[in-house]
Each structure stands twice: as structure tokens, then as C-alpha cells.
């Protein structure tokens, strides 16, 4: 049989087979500060935003609420922290950046679609004195969003820059679990004031928290503190604390890493019930131990933000 073109030497073919096959992954870049390396952006690497400060110019502080894994009550913490902040600062917004599983519409009890002004800008919805925006307001509950990184980046940017946010003291952003595209997009798009990491007391959750903290450190996002959710159960019979998921994990991590422990939130079935009904526990049961714990955490958060601002002022 005749072969067209040059025939490779058989020894050369054997050498080629023996060589390990490497695949270039241009999207895997070392993160430094709030930008990715200056190589040409690829379809999976959203470009850095050159005009960060102009995207939401009327927002004083942007706080992300993150976790290394799902199921720790991150959205519950974000919602109730936002409401607790609004009792102190009055002007607070809440952005749901979890495009795959938006839960803020349910937890805040609002199912409307946002309206637009004459310039096609979205007007935030209002519930419990909080300005709200979520991808969940614009898609049905049954619709699955199968998006790659650039689409997530575009959606997050639109929910920031294409929304008429009021003058806000705080914008709380409920992050999706993990350390993926949404986290990277936000660090490139906004100057973040800092991050709150949510955990539960058991060791498996604490291991994931370390990854989230590592992500924030790589992106130069200040760590404002840790909130330990489902920290303990208060027995209705004798008011004693019962450590259902273990105890002391969040406090130990706080001490080991030098990160403030903002609060320990007691577990209670009412928290879940209130979230499903769209009336968070800080609204439905304002005198409950859980609501008091959220208020304490919000006050601690404000103190941490003040410390960061003071540090920035003293740097020369």
C-alpha cells in the first residue's frame, strides 16, 4: 500500500508515543490581587473590568457572604444579616449571585419581575426594607440555567451595573457555594469591602471554610469574620445548649487564623419555616435568640468594617 507524504521513521513514532501528552489550559491562571494574568482572555476567562468604581457608585460597602460548601445556611445568614444591618443603617441592598440556585426570592417572600425605567435599567424590588435583585426574579422555578463562566460573569455584571441601586450603606451579596466563576467575576468587577465566611461546627465544614478563606486571600479580599451557623440547639425544656453538630469548631478556626468570630447562630426549626414563608426570623420573631444572634453578628460586622476603613486612612 502506498502512503502519500513523508513516512515517519518507526523509531520516531515510538518516541512520540512515549511522550506524555500535555493539554494547555489557558483558563488556569495564578490569581494575583483582583485580576488574572495579563494574557489574552479566553472564552472561559472573563476580562478584567477597567472601571470598577463606576459600576455601583452609590454603594458604600460591598460584603460577600460565602462558604466552601453548600448546606451550611449561607443564604439564611445573608438574608438575616442584611435585615439586621437595615435596623442599624437603614439603607441596605441584597444581591443573589447564585445563578444556579437562587433562593433569595423565596426567603424574602417576593415573586415579581423587576420593572425597568426609560433607559432599560432594572429597578430593584423591595421587601422587608431591603433593596433586592436576583436572577430568580427573571426566570421560572423550573428553568435550569446551564451557563459557562462568561455568561455568569455577564449576568453578575448586569445585576450590578444595569440596576438602579439606591444610595446604600451596605450591599450584601449572597454567593454560590464553592470557589468558582462567580467569585472570580465579582473580585474582578467590584472593589469588595470584605467577606463573611459561613460554616457549621463539624470538621468537614471547617475544612471547606479554609478553602474559601484561601480564595479570599488570593484575591486580596479582606476577611471580615466567620459566622458559625447551626452552632447549638436551645432545649425548650431547660434552656440548655445542646451541641448537635459538635462545638467549638468556628471559635478554634477563628483563633488559629486570626479572623474574628462574628457570631454563633443557634439552630431552630423556625429559621427554616420562616425562610420558606418569605418572612425571615429576624422579622417574624425579632426577640428570639436566633434574631439576637444575627443582630450581634451584624454589629460586629460594622465594627470590622470601621476598623478596615480606619486602617486605610492611616496608611500613608
Q: Would you say 95 and 55 are in contact if contact means Cβ atoms under 8 Å apart? A: no
Q: Which three cell numbers stand for residue 14?
A: 515510538
Residue 80: exposed, middle, or buried by beta-carbon count in 10 A (0-12, 13-18, 19+)?
A: buried
Can you list the positions of beta strands (E) in the chain? 59-66, 92-96, 125-127, 130-134, 168-174, 194-199, 223-228, 233-234, 241-242, 261-264
Query: What would the CATH number be for the domain defined by 57-314?
Result: 3.40.50.300
Q: Would you say 130 and 94 are in contact if contact means Cβ atoms under 8 Å apart? A: yes
Choose between 246 and 71: higher pLDDT. 71
Give me the pLDDT at residue 178, please: 67
Q: Which three cell numbers stand for residue 269?
A: 426549626
Give me the pLDDT at residue 246, please: 73
Average pLDDT, the chain: 79
Query: Using CA of residue 213, residue 215, residue 219, residue 221, what is the dihedral sign?
Result: negative
Q: Would you say 201 and 228 are in contact if contact means Cβ atoms under 8 Å apart? A: yes
The Cα 125–Cα 132 span in angstroms is 5
The Cα 146–Cα 33 span in angstroms is 29
Q: Which residues contact 208 (CB under 8 A, 6 or more apart)?
A: 67, 68, 69, 199
b/e per residue 141-158 (b: at least 16 CB within 10 A): eeeeeeeebbebbebbbe
Q: Residue 255: pLDDT band by 50, 70, 90 thresholds?
A: confident
Find cell 425605567 and name the residue. 117
pLDDT tens digits for 210-224?
A: 888 888 888 888 999
Domain ranges for the chain, please list them. 57-314
pLDDT at 287 over 80: yes
pTM higher than the cut 0.85:
no
Give me the pLDDT at residue 254, please: 83
Question: What's the 3-state SS for 59-88?
Answer: EEEEEEEECCCCCCCHHHHHHHHHHHHHHH
Q: Residue 187: pLDDT band by 50, 70, 90 thresholds?
A: confident
Amino acid at each position: 500500500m502506498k502512503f502519500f507524504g513523508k513516512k515517519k521513521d518507526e523509531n520516531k513514532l515510538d518516541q512520540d508515543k512515549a511522550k506524555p501528552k500535555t493539554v494547555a489550559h489557558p483558563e488556569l491562571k495564578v490569581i494575583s490581587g483582583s485580576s488574572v494574568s495579563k494574557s489574552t482572555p479566553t472564552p472561559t476567562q472573563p476580562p478584567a473590568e477597567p472601571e470598577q468604581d463606576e459600576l455601583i457608585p452609590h454603594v458604600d460597602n460591598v460584603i460577600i457572604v460565602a462558604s466552601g460548601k453548600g448546606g451550611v445556611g449561607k443564604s439564611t445568614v445573608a438574608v438575616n444579616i442584611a435585615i439586621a444591618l437595615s435596623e442599624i443603617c437603614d439603607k441596605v441592598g441584597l444581591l443573589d449571585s447564585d445563578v444556579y440556585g437562587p433562593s433569595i426570592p423565596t426567603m424574602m417572600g417576593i415573586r415579581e419581575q423587576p420593572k425597568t425605567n426609560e433607559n432599560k435599567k432594572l429597578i430593584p424590588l423591595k421587601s422587608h426594607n431591603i433593596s433586592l435583585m436576583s436572577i430568580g426574579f427573571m426566570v421560572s422555578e423550573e428553568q435550569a440555567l446551564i451557563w459557562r463562566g462568561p455568561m455568569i460573569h455577564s449576568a453578575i455584571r448586569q445585576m450590578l451595573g444595569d440596576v438602579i441601586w439606591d444610595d446604600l450603606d451596605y450591599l450584601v451579596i449572597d454567593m454560590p457555594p464553592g470557589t468558582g466563576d462567580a467569585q472570580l467575576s465579582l473580585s474582578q468587577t467590584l472593589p469588595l469591602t470584605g467577606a463573611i465566611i459561613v460554616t457549621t461546627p463539624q470538621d468537614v465544614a471547617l475544612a471547606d471554610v479554609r478553602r474559601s478563606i484561601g480564595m479570599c486571600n488570593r484575591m486580596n479580599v479582606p476577611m471580615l469574620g466567620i459566622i458559625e451557623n447551626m452552632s447549638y440547639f436551645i432545649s425548650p425544656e431547660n434552656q440548655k445548649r445542646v451541641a448537635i453538630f459538635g462545638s467549638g469548631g468556628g471559635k478554634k478556626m477563628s483563633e488559629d487564623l486570626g479572623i474574628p468570630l462574628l457570631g454563633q447562630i443557634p439552630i431552630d426549626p423556625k429559621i427554616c419555616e420562616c425562610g420558606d414563608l418569605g418572612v425571615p426570623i429576624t422579622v417574624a420573631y425579632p426577640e428570639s435568640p436566633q434574631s439576637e444572634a444575627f443582630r450581634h453578628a451584624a454589629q460586629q460586622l460594622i465594627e470590622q468594617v470601621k476598623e478596615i476603613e480606619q486602617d486605610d486612612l492611616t496608611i500613608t
